[in-house]
Structure 1
């Protein structure tokens, strides 16, 4: 929840408010650019998800303002932000099944996993030092999930290179067996 750091929820959280506001702006720009250039089928899907997220955010905002006050509002928004942050950090793990099945990390970029670990580490330290359990818990889970991704990456990264070599050799053999002598060149490291 991007509202968690706002002054009417918690006080003295200018860092969280600034970072979350900047992140929300960048994410909104990314979604708009995607919607401008994506194929129509993907536009509809992403637009539906975007509307669902906006409705969930609006519902949580209205509930927090109308129903909860003081510490209860902070508790509600803190728990909601923790839950949604954990879901966000867990989203890239949906690729784990594909990685294990194909024994390839082709669809799991290393730099994304590494950046998630760096970000979660810094925010986890901030949550612990700032005595903010909501930030500490969600980023602690994110850090753990990022480490799982990197472990998985290192378990299968050599197999990715091996699969590319095997595919290139098999493809050249098939071309030669079919009578296609197109001077296939293999670039094997």
Structure 2
């Protein structure tokens, strides 16, 4: 039996959706009531990733993208929850930095959504523009774990780069 590309794409999409949930580090933060040296950057960039993909999957940009909308809606909820936990346990200076970055992401998304909806009038062109934009930002987003790699090298400890989270990120990127 030969499967067509649509079925294979859906299967890979569902696997990617399940893997996207990953194994969150917020459990360690809650247990220790401290963010330690965990970096919020991968979660901030992942939130931006989910926001871009969610907008991309909306029918006004790309019709028939239910998997894209569902996983990224769930992803947004997970990342917002993580960032709330992070903000609760972070030092004041770190909290302010994260809040500034969240404000910057919000402004960026407002500009993207407004520009795309007002300046581009067909779903085909919106799909193309958002695809190009995502390629640019997706490259940056998948590079964000390198911030944690720097910490691993400096401390000579993998404590802040859990293997399971790294594996989940890798497998999700493959899917």
TM-score by length of 1: 0.58
Of residues 21, 24, 27, the one that matches 2:79 is 27
- 2:8 corresponding residue in structure 1: none
Report how far residue 26 of structure 1 moved.
Answer: 1.4
Report how far residue 96 of structure 1 moved.
Answer: 3.6
The SS at the match of 2:56 is coil
What residue ranges of structure 1 are gaps of 5+ in the alignment? 123-189
Task: Write out per-residue CA displacement over residues 111-164 of structure 1, whole angstroms, 9 at most, x where no aligned residue.
Answer: 221111221222xxxxxxxxxxxxxxxxxxxxxxxxxxxxxxxxxxxxxxxxxx
- 1:75 corresponding residue in structure 2: 128
Question: Within 2, Cα distance between the matches of 1:36 and 1:105?
Answer: 24
- 2:55 corresponding residue in structure 1: 3
TM-score by length of 2: 0.62
Of residues 91, 94, 98, the one that matches 1:42 is 94
Q: Name which structure has the greater RCO, CA cutoff 8 Å, separation 6+.
A: 2
What residue ranges of structure 2 are gaps of 5+ in the alignment? 1-51
Runs of 4+ in 1 over 6 A off after TM superposition: none
Give the number of aligned pairs: 122
The SS at the match of 1:12 is coil
Q: 1:15 to 1:45 in 2, by over 3 A?
A: same
